[in-house]
Amino acid sequence: MKANNPFSIIISSLLFFFIFLTTSLPANTSPAPKGFVSDTGYDFGVVHEGEKVRHPFIIKNNGSAPLVIIDGKTD
């Protein structure tokens, strides 16, 4: 098979561009929030009916865009 075969040139070119694009494109650099919670659980022990308990959970934004918390639920 000759090296200047049109089919092999097309395949080689496509392979080159695929490899070039997948290795040289930068990662997604758009600003994005990244929520971080260091304490993901807390044991309140025995809680009697009607008793109110509280524990603060600190949520930190390690991202580069505002972190908006729309809703929160407990398990």
Q: Partners of 35 in the beta sheet?
A: 61
Tally of structural domains, the chain: 1
Structure tokens at 39: 């304490």
Q: Residue 60's beta-bridge partner residues? A: 36
Residues spanned by the domain of 20: 6-61
Q: Is 40 part of any domain?
A: yes
pLDDT at 51: 94
State residue 4's pLDDT score. Answer: 62
Q: Is residue 13 part of a domain?
A: yes
Whether the pLDDT of residue 75 is over 80: the answer is no
Position 71 in a domain = no
- pLDDT tens, position by position, 24-64: 556 667 899 999 998 888 899 999 999 999 989 899 999 99
Asked if residue 54 belongs to a domain, the reply is yes
